[in-house]
Amino acid sequence: MTVSLEVNEFVATVTLNRPEAMNALDPDSVIQLQAIWQQISYDANVRVVILTGAGDRSFCTGADLKKTAPPAESFAELHYGSVRPAFNLGSLQTGKPVIGAINGFALGGGLELALQCDIRIASDNASFGLPEVCIGSIPGAGGTQRIIRAVGQSDAMFMLLTGARIDAAEALRIGLVSRVVAPPMLLETATSIARQIAANAPLAVAAVKKLSTIGRDTSLSAGLELEQQAFGVLRNSEDRLEGRTAFVEKRKPVFRGK
């Protein structure tokens, strides 16, 4: 398998497993990644996802150009016609929180993959870049849209327009990642954060992710209205009652996602 899945204590670890190819995604890897993403999205035993790459040299360098041929169909057929469009790396959506554990190169589609993570942790040997303009292309898997939302406009435009790479320290400075750790501590740090999230009430965590995602692209007043509706929906949930009861009884709550 070129993409592996391990589930332990409500945490799913998805590993891009082609270290010999810098964890670039060939067609088989893309199919496996898509199938795993659908699986974890609907698995009640998964509350948090960690996405990482095998080895310590590369998180992902995007599509494997040596094994990825252009589609036979025209763009119009794929985009507007009845032909099923090819899977896009920019469409890995899930309601579960996703932590990117970035070990080494996150370039092109690899960075676009990382940008879809809710939290990004990097090893101190990581480097990041969107070099598509250097070869006459653009980041076509959400890169132009997500980088501008992840960091300040000037830093985003610098990366997009120059195609230059930045190191882990610079990524931390501009807010592209939340933590930088030594390579041996990367998965341990990501897992610790994942378990902290997994211990929280699943419905509340899912609501927070959805509200934050929607709120980023809507007005403050509309976002506040949605927040109040979500608060009302969760108010009488079993987990919220359990949380309040556990607080009074001075014990750790046991959440069931109900």
State the fold for domain 3-198.
Answer: 2-enoyl-CoA Hydratase; Chain A, domain 1 (3.90.226)
Residue with tokens 């959440």: 255
Q: Reply yes or no on whether 238 is catalytic.
A: no
CATH 1.10.12 at 202-249, yes or no: yes
Q: Tokens 């610098």 identify what position?
A: 158
Q: Please identify which of the residues 6, 20, 77, 132 carries the catalytic annotation.
A: 132
Total residue length of the chain: 258
**Residue 90: pLDDT above 80?**
no
The answer to whether residue 18 scores a pLDDT higher than 80 is: yes
Has residue 67 got a pLDDT over 80?
no
96, 47 contact by CB (below 8 A): yes
In the set 6, 73, 77, 112, the catalytic residue is 112
Tokens of 183: 């390579």
For the whole model, what pTM was predicted? 0.89
User: What does the pLDDT average to over 74-96?
Assistant: 70
Annotated active-site residue 9? The verdict is no
Question: Interior CA angle at 8 toward 115 and 235, to 5°?
Answer: 70
How far, in Å, CA of 126 to CA of 139, rounded? 19
Higher pLDDT, 5 or 67: 5
Query: 109, 170, 161: which is closest to 134 by C-alpha?
Result: 161
Helix (H, G, I), strand (E, B) or coil at 157: helix
Give per-residue pLDDT as tens, 150-192: 999 999 999 999 999 999 999 999 999 999 999 999 999 999 9
Q: Domain locations in the chain?
A: 3-198, 202-249
pLDDT surpasses 80 at 77: no
pLDDT at 70 over 80: no
Residue 65 confidence (pLDDT): 65
Beta strands, E only, the chain: 3-8, 11-16, 48-53, 58-60, 98-102, 105-107, 119-123, 127-129, 166-167, 179-181
Strand partners, 246: none
pLDDT tens string 91-147: 788 999 999 999 999 999 999 999 999 999 999 999 999 999 998 989 988 999 999
